[in-house]
Structure 1
Amino acid sequence: MTPSISDSAPVDNASLRAAVEAFATTPEQSTYLDVVRGCLQGRLLLDSTGSDRPTVEADGSYSFPAGATLQFAGGTGPDGRPALFAFTSQQQINRMHPDDLSDVQALVQPAAGALQLASTERYGWLYIDPAGPTCAISNRDAAFALRGDRNDAVKQALEIADPAASKAAVLDALAENGPLLLAVDTDSVPASGVSDGTPVRIRDSVDPDGNPVLLAFTSGPEVSARNVADSFATRPAAEIIHDAIQAPYGGLVINPGGPWMALSAEELRVVLHRIAGATPG
């Protein structure tokens, strides 16, 4: 893991903290999945109190000299396996050290980086804000969240609060032709996993006017947030957009579990034109 603090803005992952609080209030599958998918965006802190101090460079980045000790706070999960602690803000770390704040150290990491570390054999669990309210993510679920392709650019664009700015950012991100996921009815997939020529059932929906729209997702956890039993298939954005403007569809809805966005056929054609213009040859 290569830590970085080149972005000096304080970490305050309020959206993930809200998801954790919602899970603690109502601990069920849907609120748990909201926490897992929230861990694919933003930043978290790891408590490195007791580690050797890093060397800080002029640009704000830092590194540890050879032989330096680097340790992260953790505990034990419900099954006795080691747990890694991660925090949504510095205040959450400080709650773990109420009597000696002067020695507290923290490393900034992408939230997905904390998931990645928790998915290794070293850990069995990832606890978010262990001082409470908290949520424990299992090693297996951390690995699932990271499995397959993700489109973090589209997901980040969906998180923008201003609707007009969010739509513009989503369209720009889609024009990069990164991966998107389709939700697949698992019951339509052959048990062998090998196609027998029968089409699988792709999940769709209807817009407020009752017109069919295709559904697309930015990650596996986003698919699970809508229907935990569904499988998923990954395609380039251009292929999914092309299907979304073919009959019977008249548009695309991305991440229906929220934050979500509906795009019209006209908007999608513009994106396809941009992708085609950027493709060599």
Structure 2
Amino acid sequence: PGLRDNALLAGALAEISGQPEPAQLLNVARQLLQGHVFLRVKGDARALLAEGKDLPLAIATRGDEQLVLAYSSGHALTKSVEADGDRDTSAMGQPVMALLKHVLAGPYAGVVLDHASDDARAVLPSALLERMVSEADPDLRIKTALSEKRTESTASTVAEAILAGAPLWIAVAQSEDGGPVGVAESRSATGERFLEVFSHPLELLALGRGDQPVPLQNEQLAKALVGDAGLTGLLVDPAGPWIRLTREHLTGLIALAD
């Protein structure tokens, strides 16, 4: 219905073959946190909305549990209709955060993504959805900017989101012998150093490195940049889609250290 497919989510689901590995489910979960998904509604969604009625979402049952069906693409939704033959349904797009909050507020045990797409499907339980929502930026500003087509203003959009308070985490590793805590950095091909920051803990956990996510306030981030002149800037969401922000992009943030 006029919405683009959620290509990042579809790509994460396509990596699954057979029983999903925990890391694959984390990758699906993090890529769910941007854009829209497609839902199936019993009946005519527009007519029901016009009449002020609730929308009966298509669900799957697992024992006594109910799971909401959601789809990364129009193709995945079409495969679902073909699989069950129920033509008395309509499709609608829904922002991801609205869907997750609806699921958590209802009697549902979670979400099934692309359930008719053979192996490229996943079940995300409510416990995981709750953590996703509780630790996410309600407006998903950074994730949304990074998932869109890149323009000359993408870097400034992400930097403005950080300055405006979009939550960030760093990756911390404790040495085995109890020595100093290490904070993850990356280096460019030319040797420039970038501090790794993450828009959600799932962005770090999906890397599978064993680092722990630690929330970071803007003032702390500003002091880190000011205190280490060798840092070129930030690498945001290294698992991708990612972006590098240089000090030039971060002048407003750095000013907070004064």
Q: 1:222 to 1:46 in 2, by over 3 A?
A: same
How big is the shift at 1:228?
6.3
User: Could you state the TM-score of these two structures normalised by the residue count of structure 2?
Assistant: 0.79
Measured in 2, the distance between the counterparts of 1:186 and 1:9 equals: 48
Determine which of 76, 82, 87 is the counterpart of 2:61. 76
- Is the contact between residue 49 and residue 55 of structure 2 (CA under 8 Å) also seen in structure 1? no
Structure 2 gap segments, 5+ residues each:
none
How big is the shift at 1:51?
7.3
Query: What SS class does the counterpart of residue 251 from structure 1 fall into?
Result: strand
Determine the structure 2 residue equivalent to 1:143. 130
Query: What SS class does the counterpart of residue 15 from structure 1 fall into?
Result: helix
- Is the contact between residue 149 and residue 179 of structure 1 (CA under 8 Å) also seen in structure 2? yes
Deviation string 1:210-251 (CA, Å, 9 cap, x unpaired) is 454321111121121224644323233353244134225332
Q: RMSD value over aligned CA atoms?
A: 3.3
Amino acid at match of 1:54: L
Determine the structure 2 residue equivalent to 1:5. none
Q: 253-262 or 21-30, which moves further after superposition? A: 21-30
Correspondence 1:112 to 2:97: yes
- Is the contact between residue 199 and residue 236 of structure 2 (CA under 8 Å) also seen in structure 1? yes
Identity within the alignment, %:
23
Deviation string 1:120-158 (CA, Å, 9 cap, x unpaired) is 572223111111131111222212222324372122222
Q: Which has the higher strand share?
A: 2
Correspondence 1:40 to 2:33: yes
Amino acid at match of 1:252: L
Query: What SS class does the counterpart of residue 142 from structure 2 fall into?
Result: helix
Determine which of 185, 196, 213 is the counterpart of 1:232. 213
Structure 1 gap segments, 5+ residues each:
1-7, 57-63, 191-197, 277-281
Measured in 1, the distance between the counterparts of 2:13 and 2:127 equals: 19
Query: What SS class does the counterpart of residue 123 from structure 2 fall into?
Result: strand
How big is the shift at 1:12?
2.0
Q: How many pairs align?
A: 249
Determine the structure 2 residue equivalent to 1:94. 78
Measured in 2, the distance between the counterparts of 1:106 and 1:74 equals: 14
Q: 137-146 or 105-114, which moves further after superposition? A: 105-114
- Is the contact between residue 88 and residue 129 of structure 1 (CA under 8 Å) also seen in structure 2? yes
- Is the contact between residue 11 and residue 108 of structure 1 (CA under 8 Å) also seen in structure 2? no
Amino acid at match of 1:183: A
Determine which of 187, 209, 214 is the counterpart of 1:206. 187
